[in-house]
Amino acid sequence: MTFVPEPEAQLNINNTYKVRLLFPRMVEVTGEIRKRNVAFKLRIGDILNGKPMVDEGKFLFLEIGDKKIVRINILANCVDKFVQDGDKSFASLTVDDASGQLKLKVFGEDTDKVKEIMQGDTLQIIGNIREWNGEIYVIPEIVKKVDAKWLLVRKLEIQEARKNIVSDDKGENSIKNKILDKIKEAESDGGIDRDVLVMDIEANPEEIEKETKKLLEEGLVYEPRPGRLRYLGN
């Protein structure tokens, strides 16, 4: 007499076999799962002033204050674009947020991410930092066009993040001199807007506004119209 297992028993045997067969692969796949790094909101100047940490030629992270940064979220204007077509397609964007310039580099099919980007576009960029031969650059995950007004919003937004970043400013006089220099440089253009000053000078917007008011009170600068600054001199 031949014994035939009941359907339920046969199902259990088959399931056990499948689990044993797939288990090594499950471990392998699970081993590839990595926690996604936080995308820090930073100014480009902070990134360029960071310290790249490298082990045996491999970039590990960028040290800024007490933070270990691998992934960033920045807003900046595209000031230059390079595209190389062919078998080894490559593209790079140079972006600027008034605190410094940084390159984005994309290869192969990823060049489609920057296909529609033009010089002058304001961009939100999320990507991973890389370092090669002393150059810090970014491999972008997301490159998205945004309104230019978001540059000022972002600068205000990241003031909290900058608390742990060492500043190169040496007090109020440094900020005051930077403001004055910017206003002097803009004389040939008929002055400079206050909003542009806030974007161009790497300092707390409240401090910039306070020092600008002092310059107006001292008679070194004047407003030919609200929001526009010109150099008056002594």
pLDDT in tens, 118-156: 999 999 999 999 999 889 999 999 999 999 888 878 877
pLDDT in tens, 69-101: 999 999 999 999 999 988 889 999 999 988 889
Report whether pLDDT(219) > 80: yes
The pTM is what?
Answer: 0.63
Structure tokens at 7: 């359907």
In the DSSP assignment, the letter for residue 37 is P
What was the pLDDT predicted at 234? Answer: 57
Which single residue is written with the structure tokens 């972006």? 95
What was the pLDDT predicted at 92? Answer: 95
- Structural domains for the chain: 39-147 (2.40.50.140), 172-231 (1.10.10)
Average pLDDT, the chain: 80
Among candidate residues 172, 154, 170, the one with its CA nearest the CA of residue 162: 154
Q: Would you tell me how many other CB atoms lie within 10 Å of the CB of residue 104?
A: 24
For residue 169, report the phi and psi dihedrals to the nearest 5 degrees.
Answer: -65, 140
For residue 145, report the phi and psi dihedrals to the nearest 5 degrees.
Answer: -75, 135
Confidence of residue 26 (pLDDT cuts 50, 70, 90): very low
What was the pLDDT predicted at 11? Answer: 37
